[in-house]
Chains A and B, each alone.
Chain A
Amino acid sequence: MESLAKLLEAALFAASRPLTLEELESLAPSEGNVRAALDEIRQNYQEDHGVELVEIAEGWQFLTRREYAETIERAQFALRPRRLSPAALETLAIIAYRQPVGRLEVDEIRGVDSGAVMDKLVERGLIEVVTRGEGLGRPLLYGTTPPFLEILGLKDLEDLPRLDELSVALRRPTPVDEPE
């Protein structure tokens, strides 16, 4: 590996969170293609390694391979994070697709009060207030955060399935046929 790749490898090894492209670029000497170096590291780790370089949460991170999860967990070297409740996932799904979105709209779509669930998600850092709405009372509007991408293993929001890829595609109201 070239020296820039080695430097980035060291930084990614030392960090306990995904490092963004800007963070990695700040380490690199003026010239030097960070993206190419990252690709080199990734290819290097593709085989013959128990960890791999994963693009996640708008950054890069070394993660263990899935096949070792059970053994590592049984030995208690690492623990799976707690699973999110269905209510939390529902709320996250709505916020991810509708952001910035207010509490009222989330309540309306879910058909139940979502205040407590949203408070918990804010506490866990998965959503945050991003702006205020224009409407009555200037309601707080929420959006998802990098940790949201991290716990789902997503590169960015583009990684979420497109709505028209779902089996329940929401059809727009069919236009009434104009009489001839």
Chain B
Amino acid sequence: MTSPILRDPGNSGFVVELEKFSGPLDLLLHLIKEDEVDITDLPIAKIAVQFLSVINELGLNQAADYLEMAARLLRIKAQMLLPRRLGDDEWEDPRAELVRRLLEYQQIRELVEWLGHAADARAERFGRGYEAPPPDAPPAPLQIDLNDLLAAAERVIALMPDPNLHHRVVPRPLDVEGATARILALLAERETFGWRDAVGGGPQATLVDVLSTFIALLELAKRSVLTLSQPEPFGPMVITRGISREAA
């Protein structure tokens, strides 16, 4: 007879926990109850075969706890087969230890049921002081004064296109390379500088310039060439030379 455990079930999943049984002892108890056999006089050969086929079926034969129990069952089965002299007082039932553990575990299962009922009954009575789970924290209030607001509005107005101008032809879409070169040149000169310096071109800076600069800054920040910070809400970004990784 080939032991079912030696067959490859074909699945390679690693079973950590199974809903149905909380462990090999639980599974054993389940089999014993199903077969209606006497726990103190276990038909070990029969139970061992059933145990092996169930863990194989459920893919549990890769879980160490179940494998250990399978090995234990097979060893007890082998020990039971050893011949013994009639009337040998020294003979110790090899099943004794397993039976003791099973009874102990059965007792725990009964306690689990009792504890479960107790917890359910307690859960039906409420003490004072229930607090609903807090809602998601609202965004932090904006700390800004009137001057900041006016300055921000002015900057936006300044950027608004001339209403008389219908369209401006953009010579080339984005110039990230140009912006990168400009930023690197600035970085070589200065430890830190502001967003306006990075964009260059002063008030004539176009949306395309802004975008190119922004993308170049993000890319350089990603490469740790520089760090970006914004000391105050809606304030201009500050570009600082990145701390080189070797120095850190």
Q: Does A157 contact B (CB under 8 A)?
A: no
Q: Number of B interface residues, CB 8 Å?
A: 37
Known A63-B126, A112-B65: A168·B23 in contact at CB below 8 Å: no
- Per a CB cutoff under 8 Å, which of A16, A54, A63, A152 touches B118? A152
B111-127 to A contact mask, C-beta < 8 Å, 1/0: 11011101111111111
Interface of B is mostly: helix
When distances are taken between beta carbons in the complex, the residues of chain B under 8 Å from A90 are 22, 108-109, 112
Decide if A110 touches B125 in the complex (CB within 8 Å): no
Known A112-B22, A161-B111: A153·B127 in contact at CB below 8 Å: no
Q: Does B14 contact A (CB under 8 A)?
A: no
A66 to B122, CA, bound (A): 8
- Per a CB cutoff under 8 Å, which of A18, A94, A167 touches B108? A94
Q: Does B103 contact A (CB under 8 A)?
A: yes
A83 to B130, CA, bound (A): 17
A124 to B111, CA, bound (A): 20
A130 to B111, CA, bound (A): 22
When distances are taken between beta carbons in the complex, the residues of chain A under 8 Å from B119 are 83-84, 89, 151-153
When distances are taken between beta carbons in the complex, the residues of chain B under 8 Å from A39 are none
Q: Does A92 contact B (CB under 8 A)?
A: yes
When distances are taken between beta carbons in the complex, the residues of chain B under 8 Å from A83 are 116, 119-120, 123
Decide if A111 touches B65 in the complex (CB within 8 Å): yes
Decide if B103 touches A154 in the complex (CB within 8 Å): no
Q: Does A36 contact B (CB under 8 A)?
A: no
Known A94-B108, A111-B69, A167-B110: A63·B127 in contact at CB below 8 Å: yes
- Name B residues whose Cβ lies closer than 8 Å to a Cβ of A: 17, 22-26, 65, 69, 100-101, 103-112, 114-116, 118-130, 132
Additional A-B contact list (5), CB under 8 Å, known A15-B129, A151-B119, A166-B111: A63-B125, A80-B123, A109-B105, A160-B111, A168-B107
